[in-house]
Amino acid sequence: MGTHHRTPYGPGSAAPGLTVFPLDGRRGVRAAGEVGLATRTVWEGVLDRAVREGDGVYYLELSDVTFVDVAGAGALVAAAGRLGDGRRFVVHRPPPALRRVLQTFWPDLPTIEVSMS
């Protein structure tokens, strides 16, 4: 399965219900759990760090995230709006609620690419 860094982002590790680890081999993170009121600080910290980290593509592997509330989706969109020219987030296998919110409210946002494969 490869070597994974087991140091989550966020104060102390992570807020209850959301863990985040760096991806191996590419710039980005793998998250597991839920994005909601209790985990919003960790989620926004991850997104702020992503905006600051270089250029190009930043991957958000969300296949183990079970739910993202509307405020969490809004935080993703706000962070994507702060990306520089030519940069984007690739959101890999997001939960259905996040996909629906992005398709409904921000269907043509060029800085967020949703990948289901």
Q: What is the pLDDT of residues 26-35, one digit of tens each?
A: 999 999 999 9
Domain of residue 52, residue span: 18-115
- Compare 55 and 20 and report the one with higher pLDDT: 20
Q: What is the pLDDT of residue 106?
A: 92
Note whether residue 5 is domain-resident: no
Give the Cα separation of 45 and 2 in Å (integer). Answer: 26
Instruction: Examine the pLDDT at 48 and tell me if it is beyond 80.
Output: yes
Rounded Cα gap, residues 13 and 33, in angstroms: 13
Instruction: Give phi and psi for 67, each to the nearest 5.
Output: -160, 140
Q: Is residue 45 part of a domain?
A: yes
- Determine, yes or no, domain membership for 36: yes
Share of the chain above pLDDT 70, in %: 85
Residue 15 binned pLDDT confidence (cut-offs 50, 70, 90): very low
Total domains in the fold of the chain: 1
Which domain CATH number covers 28? Answer: 3.30.750.24
Residue 45 has pLDDT above 90, yes or no: yes
pLDDT band per the 50, 70, 90 thresholds, residue 16: low
Does residue 5 carry a pLDDT above 60? no
Q: Do the beta carbons of residue 6 and residue 24 sit within 8 Å?
A: no
What pLDDT sits at residue 13?
46
